[in-house]
Structure 1
Amino acid sequence: MQPRALSPASRQEALRALRDSAEGGEPLDVLVIGGGVTGAGAALDAATRGLSTAVVEAQDWASGTSQWSTKLVHGGLRYLQMLDFKLVHEALTERGLLLKTLAPHLVKPMPFLIPLEHRVWQRAYYGAGVTLYDLLANIMPGRRALPIHQHTTRGGLSKQFPDLRHDTAIGAVKYYDATVDDARLVSTLVRTAHTYGAHAASRTEVVQIVKDEHGTAIGAELADLESGERFEVRARHIINCTGVWTDDVSELADTDGGLNVLASKGIHLVIPRERIHGTSGLFLQTEKSVLFFIPWSRYWILGTTDTPWELDRQNPVATAADIDYVLEHANAVLKTTLTRDDVVGWYAGLRPLLQPGTKEGTDSAKVSREHTVASPVPGLTVIGGGKLTTYRVMAKDAVDFALGGRAEELPCITDEIPLLGAVGEAAMRRRMPALREQFGWSEQMTDHLLHRYGSLVEELLDLIEEDPSMAQTLEHSTAYLRAEVAYACRTEGVLHLEDLMMRRTRLIYEAPDKGLHTVPEIAAIAAAELGWDEATTQAEIEAYTARAEAEIAAAAEPDDQSAARVRDHLGEVAPLQAMGSGAAAPD
């Protein structure tokens, strides 16, 4: 399958297809609302069943919860404590599929240490837990995706994580999970879905669900946030995959949505790799949440917190108290002392927590402890809860539920559909020594490229052949090539500078001061690729600068309310439009 580009032109094609479905053309089979990992997965699932499919997202792809995760693909050790073996097995099966078949370039194995302080009961307790973890993972057919766990002595723990305080530790259990760039997974899913025929339109907001005279959802009114135009789309099945916005979208159909989804905030810190000496990740339990130390490229990611959030869901913010909490708990177990000066970046995101039960009068199927699919009105399917690791199962369950009896005729096949860049990754890896010599790239750079693009590195090389200067790194960030910025504009659905800074690169938290020093060069490349004039380029720079400065100021505030006030004065590059209050299809 030849990869298809997500570009401004492909977005316009998608908008035309959406309009045509309501202007005399055939309705779409499936309209997916929400461009996070679940919505992207649902679009790929529907498209690979041969259904005419479109996915719309009010902002950029992955711009909600899916860009702010802990970057883990994991089975969920904590669910073993709850004896939820089915859920853990499901997540571990998906972890194995991603590692071996679907996205081996994006998902990478990572060892983690669980320090032990009690020789007998803790070693037996955690040892039994990770043994079961391994057994549930190995039920999956085929070769084992990751090594089995090991027990490590105090000396082994000291060798693998020298900066961990070992005064009370008697050793550790070492187990394996995997890491992923969450936003990159989503953009790859969307592009893969587009390659298989799905129409994809970002910055396209659903402002009303359209119903017929019988109360069946038959389409939606959309707003193109780039032009301000409103128009209608028709679809036989509508699937709401909007996470913490689930209730908002359901209200557009004059229904309470059937599910109770609450938002919980989690924050993470980014610390330079050299500030903490260790070769494995670290898993610790705190009184309020779980504390991970995750090796991430040139950095460590430390997190997370778990606190209720009832403010602006589009822009959750980290506060001074959040940052101090993570630093305090990190310093409690480290030999070194981390300070605010060591924090290169930080980010805050919202988990869509599904509350038990569905609302009265709602047709539903409880598919998992973590996610539920419901139909508050005919024609509209809503999925709530879940986590990044099990996105494919969530997507399958949502599409199956929407199709009803037709699902048996058109079964899901996404367990055998590699994402773009997966096929041929091993061959591209063999080419890397020659490319390092040809372009003077470091081994870290070629690993970075393989981890982000897999075999699609070939398309970067085509771009570099057109313009050899694209083989150079950004002047103020040697972690990224100039070609990566241009490539994102051409093929990965970029419309605004913040898309590049926040999701196609992660400079918003991988570089000091939210990457502001890299903005002029990145904006210049984007302007050349996207045809921005001088005024547009300057407006994009000013918008991102304002965002970065507001988030830096918010992180100095002591609590959520004051931090949100500092952040909320800022306008958005594509602000959401006012939603309707009920619409029925004309006779």
Structure 2
Amino acid sequence: MTSLVSPQPTDRPQLFRTLAGLGQVDLAIIGGGATGLGVALDAVLRGLSVVLLESHDFAKGTSSRATKLVHGGVRYLAQGNIALVREALHERSTLLHNAPHLARPLPFVMPGYKCWETPFYGTGLKIYDALAGKAGLGSTEFLNLRQTQGCIPGVRTQGLKGGVKYWDGQFDDARLALALARTAASQGALLINYCPVIELIHELGRVAGLQCRDAETGNVHTLRARCVINASGVWVDEIRQMDGSATGRDTQPMVAPSQGVHLVVDSEFFPGDHALLVPKTQDGRVLFAVPWLGKVILGTTDTPRHDLSREPLAFAEEVEFILGEAAKYLARPPSRSDVKSIWVGLRPLVRPPQNEGDNTKKISREHTVLVSPSGLVTVTGGKWTTYRAMAEDVLEKCMESALLERLPPSETGDFKLVGAPVTGQGRTSLTGTPGLDAYGTEAEWLAGLPGAQVELAPGLTEAMLRFAARNEYARTVEDVLARRSRLLFLDARLAQKLAPAAADILGEETGVDPRLDEFLALAGQYQRLPD
């Protein structure tokens, strides 16, 4: 279908001119990950004036480092958290509907090596189907040995009895975050990346706005707001401490971070378009092998983390765990030298009232919305799949706390994101090599940009880099090779090789330093496995 509206430019000087011209807005949001972006879109669609500020790039943190699954949470079903699973299954359906160019159904297979495994897990997955109801993506099937091998030809066959096939979804997390940002902007919200909040403004003990700094120029801007939302994910406690220091109140940490490590290997190690799920590994974790954008993601871990690095490193034991468990289920297990990229994400798990030690696997994945005595609204926890429901809860809490007047109902349940076709199914899957299908209805606009026929890597053209700079807020080489394109996450060595060419194009488009040296160092980190 032909796009009716040309892509909105994201000219940075113009964004700051707009910010400088604002007096007071209804809502100021701190944090440009899934949660903050979801709140921005929901709020602007309800008629509020909205500004969102992100200290780095949109989805730079947790929101670009997910396992790429849109799911109800089979592991949460095993824990008996029926309410969370039911909500997530509903939101899974909504996300697939609103962004069919970025999220698609994906079949999974649980292989069974013991006679009891297939009927046991199959029964649980039938319950999963029942909870999904009309939002189901396909019925659970019991597979015999031959059928299991047909679905996942890369599986180890020694001792294999059969398997269970079920359906969930997968997505491109960073590009979905970008679509949320651009959709909110198209509806009138102002969103700016690389603009950290440096101070909260208080009047008579209440939050009345904030000060932010343009990371490129150093210019400081003041913004007054009726309501300030702290949606900075793992880093929410930093903003809460800023609030507490100004009001003389102690703030206890809300977040108990854990990290998830992912290894990426070539698809030859696990060919096909079905994912593999091992529901219970040796230490009780879940193991995935997920085909994604022409590669296979192996993961993940759930390890306590006490520092909050923007680029956390994997622990050696995490890598050994993933490779060791993969070797039990893959006919051709990958070795350390086969890893194309290693990346780590921090999860903002909500700290329990009483510390139960460092077992983060037991901490709830549900989100929490908290209003401080000064009126700062903080939201953290949750997961990508439920971002939209989290946004609704945030705005409901704002209304309950009289920070906002009663608003009309949310419109995000049936609101297509930028690039989504109005009718039709969008792309068929996300398991193949990336390309123009990630742009949905905007793909045609790239054909008119310089370099549309010049391919830098499979599925990546010069025109895509220019589009990222002109219409997708990109400022650095990392922005375009890690999040606008996912090359860093798929093949760090290739991303490193292409970085100088990307820097030249980006510098030509933006006129600012694209920070090539920083990216080269980062790409080196994504290639190195800990000893």
Please, what TM-score do these two structures have when normalized by structure 1?
0.82
- Give the structure 2 partner of residue 209 of structure 1: 200
Letter in 1 for 2:410: C
- Give the structure 2 partner of residue 380 of structure 1: 376
**Could you tell me whether the CA contact under 8 Å between 1:520 and 1:541 is conserved in 2?**
yes
Deviation at residue 331 of structure 1 after TM alignment: 0.8
- Give the structure 1 partner of residue 459 of structure 2: 479
Deviation at residue 65 of structure 1 after TM alignment: 0.4
**Could you tell me whether the CA contact under 8 Å between 2:476 and 2:516 is conserved in 1?**
no
Matched, 1:13 2:3: no
Provide the C-alpha distance between the structure 1 equivalents of 2:100 and 2:377, rounded to a whole number of angstroms: 31
Q: Deviations over 1:66-86 (max 9, x none)?
A: 011100000001111222221
Deviation at residue 277 of structure 1 after TM alignment: 3.3
Please, which of 424, 435, 438 is the counterpart of residue 448 of structure 1? Answer: 435
Matched, 1:493 2:473: yes
What is the 5 A alignment of 1:427-442? Answer: none
- Relative distance call for 1:289 and 1:33 in structure 2 (3 A) is same
Matched, 1:293 2:297: no
Matched, 1:93 2:90: yes
- Give the structure 2 partner of residue 232 of structure 1: 222
Gaps of at least 5 residues in structure 2 are 356-363
Matched, 1:153 2:144: yes
Provide the C-alpha distance between the structure 2 equivalents of 1:426 and 1:151, rounded to a whole number of angstroms: 30
**Could you tell me whether the CA contact under 8 Å between 2:40 and 2:189 is conserved in 1?**
yes
**Could you tell me whether the CA contact under 8 Å between 2:72 and 2:86 is conserved in 1?**
yes
**Could you tell me whether the CA contact under 8 Å between 2:211 and 2:223 is conserved in 1?**
yes
Provide the C-alpha distance between the structure 1 equivalents of 2:6 and 2:397, rounded to a whole number of angstroms: 29
**Could you tell me whether the CA contact under 8 Å between 1:259 and 1:384 is conserved in 2?**
no
Deviation at residue 258 of structure 1 after TM alignment: 6.5
Deviation at residue 135 of structure 1 after TM alignment: 1.3
What is the 5 A alignment of 1:306-385? Answer: 306-357=302-353, 370-385=366-381
Letter in 2 for 1:521: A
Matched, 1:66 2:66: no
- Give the structure 2 partner of residue 115 of structure 1: 111
- Give the structure 2 partner of residue 176 of structure 1: 167
Deviation at residue 407 of structure 1 after TM alignment: 6.1
- Give the structure 1 partner of residue 262 of structure 2: 268
SS of the equivalent of 2:56 reads coil
Letter in 2 for 1:349: G
Q: Deviations over 1:122-163 (max 9, x none)?
A: 3332122111111111155xxx5x111111001111222223
Provide the C-alpha distance between the structure 1 equivalents of 2:351 and 2:480, rounded to a whole number of angstroms: 35
Deviation at residue 231 of structure 1 after TM alignment: 2.6
- Relative distance call for 1:312 and 1:87 in structure 2 (3 A) is closer
SS of the equivalent of 1:90 reads helix
Deviation at residue 429 of structure 1 after TM alignment: 7.1
SS of the equivalent of 1:79 reads helix
- Give the structure 2 partner of residue 572 of structure 1: none
Deviation at residue 20 of structure 1 after TM alignment: 3.6
Letter in 2 for 1:372: T
SS of the equivalent of 1:471 reads coil
Letter in 1 for 2:435: H
**Could you tell me whether the CA contact under 8 Å between 1:425 and 1:454 is conserved in 2?**
no
Matched, 1:418 2:413: no
**Could you tell me whether the CA contact under 8 Å between 1:257 and 1:382 is conserved in 2?**
no
Q: Deviations over 1:97-144 (max 9, x none)?
A: 1112x111110111000112333x43332122111111111155xxx5
Deviation at residue 275 of structure 1 after TM alignment: 2.6
Q: Deviations over 1:537-582 (max 9, x none)?
A: 6xx2222112323454xx4444xxxxxxxxxxxxxxxxxxxxxxxx
- Give the structure 2 partner of residue 219 of structure 1: 209
Provide the C-alpha distance between the structure 2 equivalents of 1:313 and 1:402, rounded to a whole number of angstroms: 30
Aligned-pair identity (%): 36
Q: Deviations over 1:422-481 (max 9, x none)?
A: 134639879xxxxxxxxxxxx967x7322x111111221232xxx3x422311xx12312
- Give the structure 1 partner of residue 243 of structure 2: 253
Letter in 1 for 2:122: G
SS of the equivalent of 2:257 reads strand
SS of the equivalent of 1:419 reads coil
Letter in 1 for 2:17: R
Provide the C-alpha distance between the structure 2 equivalents of 1:12 and 1:423, rounded to a whole number of angstroms: 31
Please, which of 28, 34, 39 is the counterpart of residue 42 of structure 1? Answer: 39
**Could you tell me whether the CA contact under 8 Å between 2:41 and 2:181 is conserved in 1?**
yes
Provide the C-alpha distance between the structure 1 equivalents of 2:108 and 2:165, rounded to a whole number of angstroms: 6
* Farther off after superposition, 80-89 or 159-168: 159-168
- Give the structure 2 partner of residue 79 of structure 1: 76
| Greater helix proportion | 1
What is the number of residues matched between the two proteins?
510
Letter in 2 for 1:544: F
Provide the C-alpha distance between the structure 2 equivalents of 1:482 and 1:4, rounded to a whole number of angstroms: 17
**Could you tell me whether the CA contact under 8 Å between 1:268 and 1:302 is conserved in 2?**
yes
SS of the equivalent of 1:426 reads coil
SS of the equivalent of 1:219 reads strand
Deviation at residue 291 of structure 1 after TM alignment: 0.6
- Relative distance call for 1:219 and 1:307 in structure 2 (3 A) is same
**Could you tell me whether the CA contact under 8 Å between 2:75 and 2:286 is conserved in 1?**
no
Provide the C-alpha distance between the structure 2 equivalents of 1:114 and 1:427, rounded to a whole number of angstroms: 27
- Relative distance call for 1:409 and 1:306 in structure 2 (3 A) is closer
Provide the C-alpha distance between the structure 2 equivalents of 1:511 and 1:329, rounded to a whole number of angstroms: 22
- Give the structure 1 partner of residue 490 of structure 2: 510
Please, which of 535, 549, 557 is the counterpart of residue 524 of structure 2? Answer: 549
- Relative distance call for 1:6 and 1:77 in structure 2 (3 A) is farther
Provide the C-alpha distance between the structure 1 equivalents of 2:365 and 2:406, rounded to a whole number of angstroms: 24
Provide the C-alpha distance between the structure 2 equivalents of 1:358 and 1:195, rounded to a whole number of angstroms: 44
* Farther off after superposition, 196-205 or 306-315: 306-315
Q: Deviations over 1:193-252 (max 9, x none)?
A: 000100011111111111112x11110111111111223210001111111101101111
Matched, 1:304 2:287: no
Provide the C-alpha distance between the structure 1 equivalents of 2:251 and 2:16, rounded to a whole number of angstroms: 26
Matched, 1:199 2:195: no
Letter in 2 for 1:161: I
Q: Deviations over 1:363-390 (max 9, x none)?
A: xxxxx96011110134311111000000
Provide the C-alpha distance between the structure 2 equivalents of 1:256 and 1:224, rounded to a whole number of angstroms: 29
- Give the structure 1 partner of residue 360 of structure 2: none
Deviation at residue 189 of structure 1 after TM alignment: 0.3
Provide the C-alpha distance between the structure 1 equivalents of 2:235 and 2:9, rounded to a whole number of angstroms: 25
Deviation at residue 519 of structure 1 after TM alignment: 1.2
Cα RMSD after superposing both structures: 2.4
Provide the C-alpha distance between the structure 1 equivalents of 2:78 and 2:88, rounded to a whole number of angstroms: 15
- Relative distance call for 1:307 and 1:369 in structure 2 (3 A) is closer
Matched, 1:129 2:127: no
Please, which of 422, 445, 453 is the counterpart of residue 459 of structure 1? Answer: 445
**Could you tell me whether the CA contact under 8 Å between 1:6 and 1:191 is conserved in 2?**
no
* Farther off after superposition, 505-514 or 242-251: 505-514
Deviation at residue 498 of structure 1 after TM alignment: 1.3
Q: Deviations over 1:13-53 (max 9, x none)?
A: 333343344xxx3x100001000011111110111111000
**Could you tell me whether the CA contact under 8 Å between 1:39 and 1:55 is conserved in 2?**
yes
